[in-house]
Amino acid sequence: MTLRAREALEGAELIVGYSTYVRLVQRDFPHKMYLATGMRGEVDRCRMALEHAAGGEQVAVVCSGDPGVYGMAGLLLELAPEYPGVTIEVIPGVSAANGGAAILGAPLMHDWCSISLSDLMTPWEVIERRLVAAAQADFCIALYNPSSKGRQDYLRRACDVLLKTRSPKTVCGCVRNVGREGEECRTLTLQELRDAQADMLTCVFVGNSQTVVVDGRMVTPRGYRLEGQ
């Protein structure tokens, strides 16, 4: 959490969020007012927040990671014109890609892209097109939402797309529970990743052609010339 985010929560009269994230915030701010909704209640949640703000309250909407990356910032700004007088400040955070990368080492040191494997709101054809492009242009890749109850084979399908262009030995990494209890990580090859289990709480990293494992850490060199190389 950033200093600015904590300051905003301290100043908020009402904190709105998905119930799981509200529980995490409540531990540090037990005496605030909260409004929580379940998954897929995103539009209602944002409208509630904006209505309270329009009524004059100082409202904080919480997400995990960065609200500007697969979070609530966009939806709030899209709905905002219906609530004139409400001012929205987006407070950036550490996205799961950045948080997970730090645990694995430094896999995103060079050009990289972020792809969500969730096809709830994006057709699979678009996702696949992005995987193909990322593989061909040798981007490091952070994969969000690698799996869920209804989509257990999506990570395997994504790996099969990547394996058409990228070496099966490409260095990959998985991090579970980024920044929370039970945090764990491991490195593996793209071929092994294809057959790995990853749940919704896992962030998956695929290195570029230069990515290596150094003392157990996943590292993508930026290209500095070191002695003897």
Name the residues that contact its own copies, by CB under 8 A.
1-3, 6, 42-43, 66-71, 73-75, 77-81, 90-95, 98-99, 101-103, 105-116, 121-122, 126-127, 129-130, 132-134, 136-139, 214-215, 217, 219-226
Of 67 and 198, which has the nearer Cβ to its own copies? 67
Please report how close the Cβ of residue 139 comes to its own copies at its closest, in angstroms: 6
Residues in Cβ contact with 83 at an 8 Å cutoff, skipping those fewer than 6 apart: 50, 51, 53, 54
Check if the beta carbon of residue 61 is closer than 8 Å to that of residue 32.
Answer: no
Buried residues in 15-45 as b, exposed as e (16+ CB within 10 A): bbbbeebbeebeeeeeebebbbbeeeeeeeb
Of 93 and 159, which has the nearer Cβ to its own copies? 93
Please report how close the Cβ of residue 53 comes to its own copies at its closest, in angstroms: 15
Distance from C-alpha of 167 to C-alpha of 165, rounded to nearest angstrom: 7
Please report how close the Cβ of residue 76 comes to its own copies at its closest, in angstroms: 8
Please report how close the Cβ of residue 140 comes to its own copies at its closest, in angstroms: 9
